[in-house]
Amino acid sequence: MNAIVDPTGEVGAWWATAVSHMEPGIVELRGRPVQELIGTVDLTSMIWLMLRGELPDAARSALLQAALVAGVDHGPQAPSIAIARMAATCGVGLNNAMASGVNVLGDAHGGAGEQCVRLLDEVLRLERDGLEIAEAAATAVAAGPKYVPGFGHRFHPRDPRRDPLVSLAEQAVRDGVVPGDHLRAGLAVEEHLRSARSRPVPMNIDGATAIIYAELGFAAPLARGLFVLSRSIGILAHAWEESGSGRRNKGPVPRSIVPARLG
Q: Output 4 or 142, the one with its CB closest to a copy of itself.
A: 4
Report the 10 Å Cβ neighbour count for 178.
21
Query: How far lies 192's CA from each of 33, 179, 198, in Å?
Result: 49, 22, 12
For position 225 contacting a copy of itself by CB under 8 A, the verdict is yes
The set of residues, in sequence order, having a beta carbon less than 8 Å from that of 194 and lying 6+ positions away, is 200, 201, 202
- Which of 86, 116, 124, 214 touches a copy of itself (CB under 8 A)? 86
- Which of 54, 57, 58, 108 touches a copy of itself (CB under 8 A)? 108
Residues 10-29 that bind a copy of itself (CB under 8 A): 10-27, 29
Question: Is beta strand 20-23 parallel, antiparallel or unpaired with respect to 26-29?
Answer: antiparallel
d(CA 32, CA 34) in angstroms, rounded, equals 6
- Which of 103, 179, 200, 217 touches a copy of itself (CB under 8 A)? 103
The set of residues, in sequence order, having a beta carbon less than 8 Å from that of 137 and lying 6+ positions away, is 123, 185, 188, 189, 191, 192
- Is the CB of residue 141 less than 8 Å from the CB of residue 189? yes
Helix ranges (H only) for 129-177 are 133-143, 162-174
Q: Output 116 or 136, the one with its CB closest to a copy of itself.
A: 116
- Which of 55, 87, 126, 210 touches a copy of itself (CB under 8 A)? 87
d(CA 218, CA 52) in angstroms, rounded, equals 8
- Which of 129, 130, 142, 160 touches a copy of itself (CB under 8 A)? 160
d(CA 5, CA 20) in angstroms, rounded, equals 22
Q: Output 136 or 218, the one with its CB closest to a copy of itself.
A: 218
Point out which span in 97-105, 117-125, 131-139, 190-198 binds a copy of itself (CB under 8 A). Answer: 97-105
**Size, binding site for a copy of itself by CB under 8 A:** 129
- Which of 116, 126, 165, 193 touches a copy of itself (CB under 8 A)? 165
Name the minimum Å distance from CB 257 to a copy of itself. 5
d(CA 113, CA 133) in angstroms, rounded, equals 20
Point out which span in 125-133, 137-145, 189-197, 249-257 binds a copy of itself (CB under 8 A). Answer: 249-257
Residues 34-53 that bind a copy of itself (CB under 8 A): 34-35, 37-39, 41-44, 46-47, 50-51, 53
For position 200 contacting a copy of itself by CB under 8 A, the verdict is no
The identity of residue 185, as a single letter, is: A
Phi-psi region of 203 (alpha: psi -120 to 50; beta: other; left: phi over 0): beta
- Which of 55, 56, 60, 82 touches a copy of itself (CB under 8 A)? 82
- Which of 154, 174, 198, 246 touches a copy of itself (CB under 8 A)? 154
For position 1 contacting a copy of itself by CB under 8 A, the verdict is yes
Burial category of 208 from C-beta neighbours within 10 Å (exposed 0-12, middle 13-18, buried 19 and up): buried
Q: Output 108 or 196, the one with its CB closest to a copy of itself.
A: 108
